[in-house]
Structure 1
């Protein structure tokens, strides 16, 4: 059995795409997964699976949510090893920052620096970003809600690429929660 985190994009935000965590836990259990737990109300679930890979599990959950709840939610599934590696590779001094200052955007596929070439990084200082393994680290000293750099980075849509962001506290909590079965 492998322990995974499902990262759902854009649920329970702004009154649309309402998905109670109890319903998400029930759905994952009905799909045959074990050890199902959720974190917060913003779309994180941890579960174990003895079959499938990250992409097939994400597709399965995406389809099941659409069938059950009538709306499409983009889902990324990542295992403990990946989540831990992302946390350990953080290029910013995470231990000295608050959770609201540091964020990780997880991508469904690798992204390159060229994707963000039009973003004038110097114009957004002291905010900064760095790319990692299918992720982007964002240092936003005043938080994500006030970040002009986050806004500029999000203007780079790519067809078929799923992206979802989590603050550093959630990043660490998912590493901890998935470690239980690792």
Structure 2
């Protein structure tokens, strides 16, 4: 049975789209998912499913949450092998020691016409980024809370994303191994 890592966008952020993790587990289990484990309240889950189609399972999860909670979050599903490959391809290895400065933006699809030139103009002097396939890696030592670049990633890549810091990504990879 395939193992997946689910990353939800906009769940439990700023008091909006409230989804307690116990309810998320129940929703995932109602869809036939097993071995469901969540990590922190921002919408991260490790699970197994009989579904071999990530796109179909992602759509089913979004629809179930909309039925139960009244909002339809973006859900990015990755296999543990894919997340391991993303981690291995991290171009900012030296930033792994500061989990708050290294971010992974998971794209819902590969960017067809990303405007990287505009993103370069938006980046702060201490920021670095790299787009590799369907992942946008960002090293932002001053944080992403005020980053003009981080705020505009979706717009200039042309596809929706959901971002996680190094600690969350590495913890999710550990959960997938259990």
Whether these two folds match at TM > 0.5 is yes
2:145 counterpart SS class: helix
| Bigger mean CA offset, 104-113 vs 59-68 | 104-113
CA displacement at 1:51 relative to structure 2: 2.1
Partner of 1:146: 146
C-alpha distance in structure 2 between counterparts of 1:130 and 1:162, whole Å: 17
CA displacement at 1:30 relative to structure 2: 1.1
Normalising by structure 2, we get a TM-score of: 0.92
Q: 1:138 to 1:123 in 2, by over 3 A?
A: closer
C-alpha distance in structure 1 between counterparts of 2:90 and 2:171, whole Å: 15
C-alpha distance in structure 2 between counterparts of 1:123 and 1:3, whole Å: 36
Verify: 1:175 aligned to 2:151, yes or no: no
What does the per-residue CA deviation read over 1:84-125, in whole Å, with 9 as the maximum and x for residues that have no partner? Answer: 000010001246531100000000111257432322348622
Partner of 2:28: 28
Q: Which consecutive residues of structure 2, in runs of 5 or more, have no partner in the other structure? A: none
Q: 1:109 to 1:138 in 2, by over 3 A?
A: same
C-alpha distance in structure 2 between counterparts of 1:39 and 1:32, whole Å: 20
Q: Where do 1:150-169 residues align within 5 Å?
A: 150-156=150-156, 158=158, 161-169=159-167
Partner of 2:101: 101
Partner of 1:17: 17
Q: Which consecutive residues of structure 1, in runs of 5 or more, have no partner in the other structure? A: none
C-alpha distance in structure 1 between counterparts of 2:18 and 2:151, whole Å: 24
Partner of 1:38: 38
CA displacement at 1:42 relative to structure 2: 0.1
Count of residue pairs brought into register by the alignment: 178
C-alpha distance in structure 2 between counterparts of 1:178 and 1:91, whole Å: 22
| Bigger mean CA offset, 38-47 vs 121-130 | 121-130
Normalising by structure 1, we get a TM-score of: 0.90
C-alpha distance in structure 1 between counterparts of 2:5 and 2:123, whole Å: 35
- Root-mean-square deviation (Å): 1.9
* Mapped contact 1:104–1:135 kept (Cα < 8 A): yes
| Bigger mean CA offset, 121-130 vs 21-30 | 121-130
1:28 counterpart SS class: helix
